[in-house]
Amino acid sequence: MKSEINNRYEKDFLVLLDEEYGYRLWFWFPNITSNKLDIWWSELDPVDPYFMTPEPLIGDLYQAEDDDELELFTSLQNTSKFYTVHIHSNDDSILKKPNGTKIYHKGYES
C-alpha cells in the first residue's frame, strides 16, 4: 500500500487524518478540491457518522498500519504542506489547512 500512497500524495489532494476513537492514522484522498472540502466540512453536522471509523468519508482512505506508513504519515505531517483533520466528537473534530487556518464543522460544540 505504501507505493500506492507514494504515487498519490505527490499528485492528488491528500488530507492527513487522525482518528481519536481507534487511535489510528489515515491517508485520506477526498477526491474533491480543497475549496470543496472546506465547504463540505463547514456544512458537516454532526461528525457522528465518522466517530467510530472515518471509512464512510468521501473519497479513498488508507490506514497507516506498518512502521513505514506511520513514518511517512509523520514526515508528511511535519512538512506542514498538507491539510490535517482530527475526527472524534463534535467538540474536538477539526479540519486544518496547511497555513494553520482551522475550519470548524457546523455541529462543532466549543
In 3D, which of 55, 52, 36, 42 has the Cα closest to residue 88?
52
> Grid coordinates standing for 55?
471509512
Query: What DSSP designation does 47 have?
Result: -
Query: What's the whole-number average pLDDT of the chain?
Result: 94
Read off the pTM.
Answer: 0.93
CB atoms near residue 48 (< 10 Å) = 12
**pLDDT single digits (tens) 31-43:** 999 999 999 999 9
Asked if residue 44 has pLDDT above 70, the reply is yes
- Tell me which DSSP letter residue 56 carries: T
- pLDDT (0 to 100) of residue 110: 74
pLDDT of residue 2: 67
- Cis preceding-peptide flag for 46 (omega within 30 of 0): yes
pLDDT tens figures, 64-90 = 999 999 999 999 999 999 999 999 999
Q: Are strands 83-87 and 15-19 parallel, antiparallel or unpaired?
A: parallel
